[in-house]
Chains A and B, each alone.
Chain A
């Protein structure tokens, strides 16, 4: 896959043509040129709990998104830009697939987030923020911001406040839209860990999850499950041995 050996226009020429004409045939040509690269990235995440077909689909959609958004005047090469977009999308899917961080990313929540960000930006900028300002801050598309603003009419402010109060005082961006945070880096491991946990008996599953995802102490777990702390300790140790053994088998 050498760039120099490619006949016809360069990527940059194609990107300029695309910016000018928005022709799908040009977009498709660019997607076609880089689909191998996208699959290559997807392959790095193989055997970690998301099926290969799904990974390839995620990578394809991310590549299309990258082609649509890339601006050759921006400085970064397309491969660097696309690579980051594709990795970000894949990691986000891993995060969403992991039970411990499964937060329903509903339109209501996005609306809440946009509203919060609007307030923040208004404060910082000393004027009403534009849709572009909000999109840049949240690293989402302008469409999503417009959609979230439009969703305002559908939900009463009462229910929105209740939604915010239910989990935290202020909506935390990373919980909904993580792109580069630590949690996202760990997401592929989480999926694997979840699969390993699933191999345990139900009570052990619960205890392991309470210990490591809910981060309760052994004593707190003992109270909740109704056994002694010593017993919790024993069950945890046994569970880890079982999980380690399961990890040595190939993941299906």
Chain B
């Protein structure tokens, strides 16, 4: 599979739906033949960014969060974001705390947190399977 496949899921900005973000990430990671440990890392990352963005959206009374997953070759990328149209200058900054930073650094290859949006990327390790 060399084509990029994109999957988008829109969820209400409520922590009840973080599990959906995790399970979708796990399912796609399994699709890419990630190992169980890699899948577990990816679900931790999905949980972190999704709850970070959901909490921020709740605080700013933004009702929906979009989860975008991209799979290509050996890479899974996930983004949790509010619609750009809902961003205003008066909103508080989305702060990436030190613990979340440490967690993300431990589980994914790259991450990026900006206003109303968190993104993580994980590559499947080249191991014999």
Contact present for A60 and B102 (CB under 8 Å) = yes
Nearest Cβ on chain B to A106's Cβ, whole angstroms: 5
Contact present for B39 and A107 (CB under 8 Å) = yes
Contact present for A24 and B52 (CB under 8 Å) = yes
B89 adjacent to chain A (CB < 8 Å): no
Interface residues of B in 108-129 (CB under 8 A from A): 127-129
What's the Cα separation between A151 and B103 when bound, in Å?
Answer: 26
Q: Known pairs A25-B97, A32-B99, A143-B19. 12 more at Cβ < 8 A?
A: A24-B51, A28-B97, A28-B100, A60-B102, A60-B103, A60-B106, A61-B103, A64-B99, A104-B129, A144-B36, A147-B39, A154-B31
**In the complex, what residues of B have CB within 8 A of residue A60's CB?**
99, 102-103, 106
Could you tell me which A residues sit within 8 Å of B by CB distance?
22-25, 28, 31-32, 57, 60-61, 64, 96, 104-107, 109-110, 143-144, 146-147, 150-151, 154, 176
Sort A-B residue pairs by CB-CB distance and give the 3 closest, nearest first. Answer: A147-B26, A107-B30, A105-B36
- Count of chain A to chain B residue pairs whose CB atoms are closer than 8 Å in the complex: 75
Main secondary structure of the interface of A (DSSP, over half): helix
Contact of A143 among B23, B51, B52, B129 (CB under 8 A): B23
B57 adjacent to chain A (CB < 8 Å): no
Contact present for A147 and B30 (CB under 8 Å) = yes
User: What are 28 A-B pairs at a CB distance below 8 A?
Assistant: A22-B51, A24-B51, A24-B55, A28-B100, A31-B99, A57-B105, A64-B44, A64-B99, A64-B103, A96-B37, A104-B35, A104-B129, A105-B37, A107-B30, A107-B33, A110-B36, A143-B26, A144-B26, A144-B36, A144-B39, A144-B40, A146-B26, A147-B23, A147-B30, A147-B39, A150-B26, A150-B27, A150-B30
